Amino acid sequence: GAVVSQHPSWVICKSGTSVKIECRSLDFQATTMFWYRQFPKQSLMLMATSNEGSKATYEQGVEKDKFLINHASLTLSTLTVTSAHPEDSSFYICSARDPNAGRGGYEQYFGPGTRLTVT
Amino acid sequence: LAKTTQPISMDSYEGQEVNITCSHNNIATNDYITWYQQFPSQGPRFIIQGYKTKVTNEVASLFIPADRKSSTLSLPRVSLSDTAVYYCLVGDMNTGFQKLVFGTGTRLLVSP
């Protein structure tokens, strides 16, 4: 199946700093990517939908000025957590939609996730 | 988006068959049912997808009754490595599952 990578796999940053997380589709072009956040023992929560070449669409309650999303190419989307605080510590997961995949071409492939710890 | 309800947790032993049922009473005509598996500190992994009746692949089977208001994921002869959280999602294939809304999932624990 298609592969989605994330970098870094884990990151520790100090409160007030910004951190960037990359999501790449390695063997397909993804016009749409998604960003999720997952707290321990909880389910995934969709944060935003990232479309190549256009502004991201954020879910209700997600601060777009704090979580900056850039989808500059068909294989790369980035999530920047600005002015991070300890409550932003979480597991961030991206997924990419391969329009040419099997099963009707609508399967989403998930990255391995990025563990962010803000101290 | 149709809401799904699953048991919070299930326990099983190695070699047994595990059936996880998901309720989706408000499923729409164009909705497909998809199951994902997630291990700790990893992204979810696609398991199986179906629309009606039965679907089988190398990993699992998916049973969907005629009214499609529920579905059952069947894992044959589970092993310790099947310990994970299993999510049931429903979505409209025509819109490409633009938004996957994850419910609570079912935490499966397989013991020796």
Give residue B102's pLDDT band: very low, low, confident or very high (50, 70, 90): confident
Q: What is the distance in angstroms between the Cα of B59 and the nearest Cα belonging to chain A? A: 14
- Which residue in chain A has the smallest CA separation from B84? A41
**What is the per-residue pLDDT across A8-51, written as a single tens digit (0 to 9) for each?**
999 999 999 999 999 999 988 888 899 999 999 899 999 999 88
Residue B96 has pLDDT above 60, yes or no: no
Residue A108 has pLDDT above 90, yes or no: no
B43 touches A at CB < 8 Å: yes
Tokens of B45: 């992994």
**Contact yes or no for B100 and A107 at CB 8 A:** no
Residue A103 has pLDDT above 60, yes or no: no
- Which residue in chain A has the smallest CA separation from B102? A44
Neighbours of A55 (CB within 10 A): 12
A115 touches B at CB < 8 Å: yes
Residues A2-25 as b/e (b if ≥16 CB within 10 A, e otherwise) read: bebebeeeebebeeeeebebbbbb
**Contact yes or no for B41 and A49 at CB 8 A:** no
**Contact yes or no for B43 and A4 at CB 8 A:** yes
- What is the predicted pLDDT for the residue at A106? 57
CA distance A40 to A45: 12
Cβ atoms of A33 and A94 closer than 8 Å: yes
A90 touches B at CB < 8 Å: no
CB proximity list for B20: less than 8 A, separation 6 or greater: B6, B7, B10, B72, B73, B75, B86, B88, B106, B108
Give residue B92's pLDDT band: very low, low, confident or very high (50, 70, 90): confident
CB proximity list for A29: less than 8 A, separation 6 or greater: A74, A75
Closest CA to A31 of B11, B94, B98: B98
Give the angle subtended at the CA of B99 by the CAs of B97 and B103, to the nearest 5°: 105
Q: What is the distance in angstroms between the Cα of A43 and the nearest Cα belonging to chain B? A: 5
**One-letter amino acid identity for A108?**
Q
CA distance B43 to B53: 28
Per DSSP, the residues of B5-43 read B--SEEEEETT--EEEEEE-TT--TTEEEEEEEE-TTS-
**What is the per-residue pLDDT across A44-81, written as a single tens digit (0 to 9) for each?**
999 999 888 888 999 999 999 999 999 889 999 999 99
**One-letter amino acid identity for B85?**
V
Lowest mean pLDDT segment, chosen from A4-18, A25-39, B9-23, B54-68: A25-39
**Contact yes or no for B98 and A49 at CB 8 A:** yes
**Contact yes or no for B93 and A104 at CB 8 A:** yes
A49 touches B at CB < 8 Å: yes
